Amino acid sequence: MCRRRVAGEVVTREPLDREVRATYELVAEARDQGVPPRSARVAVRVRVTDVNDNSPELVDPQEEMISVREDQPPGTEVVRVRAVDRDHGNNASVTYSLLKGRDSDGHGVFTIDSVSGLIRTRAVLDHEDRTIYRLAVAATDSGKPPRQTVRLLRVEVLDLNNNRPTFTSYSLVFRVSRPQSLPIRIRRSASTILGNPALGERLTLPPS
């Protein structure tokens, strides 16, 4: 900063950034033209006021994919999102919301608390109906005009072992040709089930 000699105005020499430095301590001096000259000094504190020049940054969760178990009651907690804003006061006050759109298909299935950022389920989820939901989470500050950041999260519905094995056919027919000298060995057909093979849900009948 510098001072104009005649007017006594303190002006800046370069742009100031409150996020870099919020206050400056100066000493201003007034000197007359007498012989000998006489002077007086005063301490001046300059406070840099904030403007809304930073958008919120969503820092939690760090992963893009989060998960929730199926068959949980409505209102089950899924994840808490958190945003930080480098501005000050209302410019740093952040609210949360879920956006509708082509890239977000979980708007009516999940809710978010606008203050805490806690995401909950609105209904009972079924892995067999849908395995992945996409949520567009928006963090908006209270500046004028407000600034907004949007982040896309994916919610995986985890499978539970809640389905019994079912055969793909009610009747099984085997046709075997063999030389007369060899014994016959017939294996029973394996069944298939509804469920997640990753959980080991595969039934194989022992040989007869």
Query: DSSP letters along 149-177, please?
Result: EEEEEEEEEE--S---EE-S-S-------
Tell me, yes or no, whether 151 and 182 share the same domain. Answer: no
Tell me, yes or no, whether 146 and 179 share the same domain. Answer: no
The structure's pTM equals 0.68
Strand partners, 183: none
Tell me, yes or no, whether 109 and 74 share the same domain. Answer: yes
Tell me, yes or no, whether 188 and 204 share the same domain. Answer: yes
Q: Residue 124: which residues within 8 A CB-CB, separation 6 or more?
A: 70, 71, 72, 73, 74
E strand map for 85-191: 94-99, 110-112, 118-121, 132-141, 148-158, 165-166
pLDDT band at 169 (very low <50, low <70, confident <90, very high): low
- Number of domains making up the chain: 3
Question: Which amino acid belongs to residue 27?
Answer: V
pLDDT band at 8 (very low <50, low <70, confident <90, very high): confident
Residue 52 domain flag? no
Residue 90 domain flag? yes
Tell me, yes or no, whether 73 and 90 share the same domain. Answer: yes
Tell me, yes or no, whether 152 and 177 share the same domain. Answer: no
Per-residue model confidence (pLDDT) at position 113: 97
To which residue do tokens 């950022």 refer? Answer: 117
Residue 207 domain flag? yes
Tell me, yes or no, whether 85 and 11 share the same domain. Answer: no
Residue 87 domain flag? yes
Residue 7 domain flag? yes
CA nearest neighbour of 16 among 43, 44, 50, 56: 50
Tell me, yes or no, whether 70 and 145 share the same domain. Answer: yes
Mean pLDDT of the chain: 83
Looking at per-residue pLDDT, the higher value among 60 and 176 belongs to 60
Tell me, yes or no, whether 39 and 65 share the same domain. Answer: no
To which residue do tokens 């893009």 refer? Answer: 64
Per-residue model confidence (pLDDT) at position 107: 87
Tell me, yes or no, whether 101 and 193 share the same domain. Answer: no
Domain with 32, as residue range(s), is 2-47
CA nearest neighbour of 146 among 97, 82, 81, 79: 97
